[in-house]
């Protein structure tokens, strides 16, 4: 029997990759007077539901989805939060 899971996926640039969008936001914040804000990084957030036989298989499928579509594994990291959906 399959379960339904809700996944929250956070995709961020690797620390070694320059983030021009983050730099632009940081400069804008500095210009607005927020001089205490440093190291702004911009990322993506994806939320989805899926069905799978168990949590391990759901996580494995999400890893494939992230590697193939949601993240560029060369320059981005991702983190998955997976929770069962209770009926």
Domains plus CATH for the chain? Answer: 3-16+43-84 (3.30.1280.10)
Tell me the per-residue pLDDT of 56-84, one tens digit each, with 9 for 90 and over.
999 999 999 999 999 999 999 999 999 99
| Tokens 């956070």, located at residue | 10
Tell me the per-residue pLDDT of 4-57, one tens digit each, with 9 for 90 and over.
999 999 999 999 999 999 999 999 999 999 999 999 999 999 999 999 999 999
Strands (E), 14-75: 43-52
pTM of the model: 0.89
């Amino acid at each position: 029997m399959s379960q339904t899971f809700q996944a929250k996926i956070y995709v961020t640039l690797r620390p070694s990759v320059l983030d021009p969008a983050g730099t632009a936001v940081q400069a804008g914040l500095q210009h607005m007077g927020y001089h205490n804000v440093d190291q702004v990084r911009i990322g993506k957030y994806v939320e989805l539901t899926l069905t799978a036989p168990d949590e391990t298989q759901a996580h494995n499928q999400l890893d494939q989805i992230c590697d193939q579509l949601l993240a560029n594994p060369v320059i981005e990291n991702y983190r998955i939060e997976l929770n069962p959906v209770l009926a």
